[in-house]
Amino acid sequence: MTSSSFAPSRRSFVAGTLALVGAPAVALTREPDRLIAGTYASRGGPGVVPMAATGEGWTAGTPFAAIRNASFGVASRDGRMRYLLEEQQEGALGIYGRALNRLGTFSTLGADPCHAALSTDGGTLAVANYSSGNVTLWRLDRKTGLPIGEAQSVAHRGSGPNQRRQTGPHAHWVGFSRDGRMLHAVDLGADAVFAHRVDPASGRITGSTIAYRATPGSGPRHLAWHPQLPVAYLLAELTNTVTVLGANPDGSFTGGETLSTLPAGFEGQSSGAHIAVNRAGTRLYLSNRGHDSIAVYAIDRTGGLRLLQHASCGGHWPRLFLLREDRSEMLVANERSGNVAVLRVQADGRLAEPTRGPAIPGVVFLSE
């Protein structure tokens, strides 16, 4: 097995990745542009909000009020099924049809689920439970998209020096290898990336190791793979840094260069949130909550990074952003200002000045 086999399918991430330039010739024939936005009830969020693009920009529709605290989710490859997390003390997974009709609700066997991933073949679903520090797996029926049998829960172990945020494990991101035999999980509390071996026949985790030990106190949050190279990028929330990781054949990582996601001289409060690589593998994007920016890096032929830009996020506290290949745009969920901002992706990968999209209180998640 080669190192590249551990790079997950880009389709397993709702946030997705984008090429630098859209295809205007296709614009007249493509499907109507529609998205959904998940919100936090504690910040006045009305539920899951449908969004539609019009000639005057993006508009918000009538919320699905029953779908509360949808902080993340993934869709099946054919778009027929949605798996939305309900981030609350008794974590729940809601499974929905194309029209957001609820097909089932299942316990995530943990507290505050915050990230999910589907295996490339669509047969296994994984969830990261933040507060309880465990990951949960379901085997899915390929025909119905619904779970088969009982879910499996695997607990992380570890802590870090930050007494406020790292007294125990906090799973924050999950992602499958292309062949489905490895599930990586980033843990903010343990300062680690775990590698869970998965039996493809049963969809069960059969063993776990530490794939990478992050800098103590850095609080790793999200990971993004390069689409061609055996390289991944690890975003640390607590130190606002990104580390270049070399992927090894056994699923472990070798640490490389670490860069700040903030401009030199910035002294305010900030924390890293989301990360994505474009399909061409030439640009990396990260969101900074507090500095309220999107950091843009050029990626060289070996996977190394060079800072290009800090672009305004168009609001306050940018959480997840959505990079959209065909539209040459980035949409940013600004949680505390309660708005979705739209930034055009220019030909060189830099971001233009944001325009303010629809007002959606407590928005934290966007999905096609």
User: Which tens digit of pLDDT belongs to each residue from 248-288?
Assistant: 999 999 999 999 999 999 999 999 999 999 999 999 999 99
CA dihedral (21, 225, 39, 98) in degrees, to 10, reads 70
* Residue 41 phi, psi (nearest 5): -65, -35
pLDDT at 325: 81
Largest CA distance in the chain: 54
Residue 358 reports pLDDT greater than 80: yes
Q: Is the pTM of this model over 0.85?
A: yes
Residue with tokens 């915050």: 114
- The share of the chain scoring above pLDDT 70, in percent, equals 92
First to last CA, the chain: 33
Please give the Cα distance from 40 to 127 (Å, whole number): 18
The residue count of the chain comes to 368
| Band (20; pLDDT cuts 50, 70, 90) | very low
Compute the distance between CA of residue 87 and CA of residue 48 in angstroms, rounded to an integer: 13
**How do residues 207-246 score in pLDDT, each as one tens digit?**
999 999 999 999 999 999 999 999 999 999 999 999 999 9
pLDDT tops 80 at residue 11:
no
Q: What is the CA radius of gyration of the chain?
A: 19
pLDDT of residue 331: 98
pLDDT exceeds cutoff 80 at 364 = yes
Instruction: Give the pLDDT confidence score for residue 201 in this predicted structure.
Output: 85
Other residues' Cβ atoms within 10 Å of the Cβ of residue 142: 11
Residue pair 106/151 in contact by the 8 Å Cβ criterion: yes
pLDDT of 21 above 50:
no
Say yes or no to pLDDT of 14 above 80. no
- Whether the pLDDT of residue 158 is over 60: the answer is yes
Distance CA 204, CA 151 (A): 9
